[in-house]
């Protein structure tokens, strides 16, 4: 069943949203919504709890931050290349960028928690939320690939084990960058395997 653009499109068992001339799978939209919701919710919950020593000062180099976002997007696309699906590559790039939503207040000029969502706590809650809502492993693997792609670019100095270890963790550079990228790429391959044979 096809409807006019901007409305739902049903193809077999897959439901899509048609925006302009582009069909976007409904599960892909939900993945974005859940990712943003978990990210911002956890960030706001941790806002008053985060140790004072881990607060970021307001950002002043917003151009550099924009360049960083472009690089993050590029790495997110790269780790989803095994899927050979442009939509999933774009989703991977976008989710990689959205991990940095926990920089929002710093970008707006406030002193705020530093990277609380660059942690396995965030990843765990995200996986649970996606399994309860989207219920498709290829989207879970894509989100995991994006998370580790983000760590690939950050390389070091983030609270990976927060709240068990509420301090930023220092990792050898660039060794850990390769490790994070390998993990991200592995999840990209898992997403590809899960989608194999599907239209």
Secondary structure of residue 157 in the 3-state scheme: coil
β-partners of residue 198 are: none
How many Å apart are CA 15 and CA 26, to the nearest integer? 6
Per-residue pLDDT, 176: 82
- The confidence score (pLDDT) of residue 164 equals 75
Residue 65 has a pLDDT of 76
Model pLDDT, residue 16: 56
Tokens 């917003």 belong to 62
Say if pTM beats, i.e. exceeds, 0.85: no
| Whole-number pLDDT of residue 160 | 79
- Domain count within the chain: 1
CA distance 54 to 37: 23
| pLDDT for 84 | 93
Is residue 18, in this structure, part of any structural domain at all?
no
Domain interval for residue 82: 26-195
Question: Quick check: is 14 in a domain?
Answer: no
Residues lower than pLDDT 50 in the chain: 1-14, 19-21
CB 136 within 8 A of CB 27: yes
Is 3 within the bounds of a domain? Answer: no
**Both tokens of residue 33?**
């919504």
Residue carrying structure tokens 């993990």: 183
């Amino acid at each position: 069943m096809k409807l006019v653009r901007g409305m739902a499109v049903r193809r077999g068992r897959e439901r899509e949203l048609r925006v302009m001339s582009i069909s976007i799978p409904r599960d892909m939209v939900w993945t974005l919504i859940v990712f943003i919701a978990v990210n911002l919710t956890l960030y706001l919950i941790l806002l008053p709890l985060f140790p004072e020593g881990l607060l970021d000062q307001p950002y002043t180099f917003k151009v550099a931050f924009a360049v960083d976002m472009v690089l993050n997007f590029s790495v997110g696309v790269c780790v989803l290349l095994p899927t050979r699906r442009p939509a999933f590559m774009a989703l991977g790039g976008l989710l990689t960028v959205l991990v940095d939503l926990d920089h929002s207040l710093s970008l707006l000029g406030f002193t705020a928690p530093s990277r609380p969502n660059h942690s396995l706590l965030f990843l765990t809650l995200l996986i649970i939320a996606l399994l309860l809502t989207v219920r498709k492993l290829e989207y879970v693997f894509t989100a995991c690939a994006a998370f580790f792609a983000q760590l690939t670019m950050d390389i070091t100095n983030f609270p990976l084990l927060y709240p068990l270890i509420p301090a930023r963790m220092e990792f050898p550079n660039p060794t850990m960058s390769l490790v994070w990228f390998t993990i991200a790429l592995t999840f990209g391959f898992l997403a590809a395997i899960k989608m194999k044979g599907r239209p």
